[in-house]
Amino acid sequence: MNKGLLSVDEALEVLLAGARTVAEIEQVSALEASGRVLARAQASTMDVPPMDNSAMDGYAVRLADVPSPETRLRVGQRIQAGAVGRPLEPGSAARIFTGAPIPQGADAIVMQEFCAADGDAVVVKKVPKPGEWIRRAGSDVRKGDIVLSAGKRLLPQDTGLAASIGIGTLPVYRRVRLGLFFTGDELVMPGDPLPPGRIYNSNRFTLNGMASAFGCEVRDYGIVPDSLDATRGVLRRAAGECDIIVTSGGVSVGDADFVKPAVEAEGSLLMWKIAMKPGRPLAFGRVREAAFIGLPGNPVSSFVTFLLFVRPFLLRTQGIAEVAPRAIEARADFEWPDPDARREFLRVKWNPGGGLDLYPTQDSAVLTSTAWADGLADNPPNHAIRKGDRVRFLPFVELYR
Ligand code: AMP
Ligand code: MG
């Protein structure tokens, strides 16, 4: 461990210990529940499918009536999806369609491809197997099964599954209100001309987009000048309106860095130098009821530290049970001969050969690397990488879950 530096895991542990799940639960239409976090497990009060039904268009038969191929049976009824047929008379077949209930007495479906209609009869060309093409009641979900567990961010298919057991509304945690502001006298908004010495406020876009991607209600307080009063003022306002305040820049200990004294004046703060690259300084504190996380201003650093620290903290606040990102092992198709003493998060891209390519410059000011990459290679301290080595890969698609 580097002297005076906190490891990523140590910082995460302290951070997560301070995260509280929002208390309020609201009941929302399952149609609007995608992306929300389920607050209570959902058990089924029914079997799915609710009745035995046909998996094919064809004919329902009694096995005993089809002892050999080319058996001719009278077609006594026609059962479409949504209808209920009569019990199947011995010696007869029922014309049946996908999803239609199996008539009482039938024990197999013969696909229409193996049948020839002949007036009011059918010639069954093949002897079916017992139960063939019958979907059994409860084969998908059984009454009493837990179909969705609490603490899960709902995907579209989860809401479909809820609907399949007749659930039209779901209990979800209320959206987390996440406040953002951006420190720096050098910042200018795109659309405005860029005076000498100034830069565009790219972090505003990256951080807004990430907060929205995680389903937050975003409060964006814009650019805050490098002054103690201005920083304290916006902190007070944000603390009254947000669950979490995330800021960019101003957390170094330069003369123009007012975030630290402002949070200390309005609340409490821990300042960390983290043994990681990119993104060293990170601030964590509270201002009244709101949690505060101050990210570095460097665009790559703020992006990476958001994914590594704000993300799990936010997920925990949202009520999500599993906050650790899923990583996979992947092959490095690059050399990294001069590793840093700090744990590195390298911008890498998945190539068509299934390996990882490295963005040529890993400078934390080069935002192009983040747009080019598919994820981060998590490289331990002082660990050189040779071509063909397995590395721990954190794909962005996993970090955005
Ligand atoms: P700071 O953490 O405030 O010392 O800023 C570190 C570096 O990031 C400086 O080069 C800043 O100009 C740059 N920076 C700070 N905030 C932003 C921002 N919102 N968008 C783009 N670059 C920024
Ligand atoms: Mg600054």
**Structure confidence by residue, pLDDT tens digits, 301-315:** 999 999 999 999 999
Query: How does pLDDT run across 192-223, given as a tens digit for each residue?
Result: 999 999 999 999 999 999 999 999 999 999 99
Length of the chain: 401
Task: Please give the distance, rounded to the nearest whole angstrom, from the Cα atom of residue 297 to the centre of ligand 2.
Answer: 6
Residue from 107, 97, 112 nearest 132 by CA: 107
Token reading at 41: 């497990």
Helix (H, G, I), strand (E, B) or coil at 172: strand
Is the preceding omega at residue 278 within 30 degrees of 0, hence cis? yes
Ligand nearest to the CA of 223: 1
Name every protein residue with a CB atom under 6 angstroms from any ligand 1 atom. 182-184, 186-187, 199, 201-204, 248-252, 296-299
CB-facing half-sphere around the CA of 223: CA atoms within 13 A: 15
Predicted pLDDT at 255: 75
Q: Are residues 175 and 162 in contact, defined by beta-carbon separation less than 8 angstroms?
A: no
Predicted pLDDT at 162: 98
Q: Choose which residue among 181, 273, 298, 368 to substitute to test ligand 1 binding: the one with the highest number of ligand atoms within 8 A of its C-beta.
A: 298
Task: List the chain residues with pLDDT less than 50.
Answer: 1-2
Predicted pLDDT at 189: 98
Q: Are residues 22 and 173 in contact, defined by beta-carbon separation less than 8 angstroms?
A: yes
The rounded radius of gyration (Å) of the Cα atoms in the chain is 30
Predicted pLDDT at 3: 58
Predicted pLDDT at 148: 98
Ligand nearest to the CA of 365: 1
Task: Please give the distance, rounded to the nearest whole angstrom, from the Cα atom of residue 252 to the centre of ligand 1.
Answer: 10
Q: What angle do CA 340, 346, 351 make, to 5 degrees?
A: 140
The residue nearest atom 15 of ligand 1, judged by CA position, is 297
The whole-model pTM stands at 0.93
The residue nearest atom 14 of ligand 1, judged by CA position, is 297
Token reading at 334: 């690059």
Report the amino acid identity of residue 116: A
Count of Cβ atoms closer than 10 Å to residue 151 Cβ: 19
Token reading at 181: 């502001």
Ligand nearest to the CA of 247: 1
